[in-house]
Amino acid sequence: MPRILGVDPGSRKTGFGIIELDGKRISHVVNGRLMVGDGEFADRLKQIFDGLTDLITRYQPEIMVVEQVFLHKNADSALKLGQARGGGYLCGSQSATAGS
């Protein structure tokens, strides 16, 4: 039964959901948001990293997918989302989950 972690990265709110597949059946495991403070951007990235690491440790997903950044009007926001996305990939690589 593969367990999949989906991540919707954001520099202030990072959404997540975990499902489990059993043949054609999909079961909800947990979902929510990682809320980060108003501190320095590097500190917020660390909070996202720590939160995702905790989720991976607690729920042991075999696969992790991270939402892509679409088109963003504000270049600074797009860069921040890209950096938050990179933090998600780092968590996945350290726990041997596949990211896409």
Which architecture does CATH list for 3-95?
2-Layer Sandwich (3.30)
Those residues with Cβ within 8 angstroms of residue 61's Cβ, 6 or more apart along the chain or in another chain: 3, 4, 5, 18, 97
pLDDT tens digits, 40-91: 888 888 898 899 999 999 999 999 998 876 666 777 777 777 777 777 767 7
Confidence of residue 6 (pLDDT cuts 50, 70, 90): very high
Contact in structure between 22 and 10 (CB atoms under 8 Å): no
CA distances from 57 to 28, 31, 38 (A): 18, 15, 26
CA distances from 83 to 43, 61, 80, 100 (A): 12, 22, 5, 15
| pTM given for the model | 0.79
Q: Where are the domains of the chain?
A: 3-95
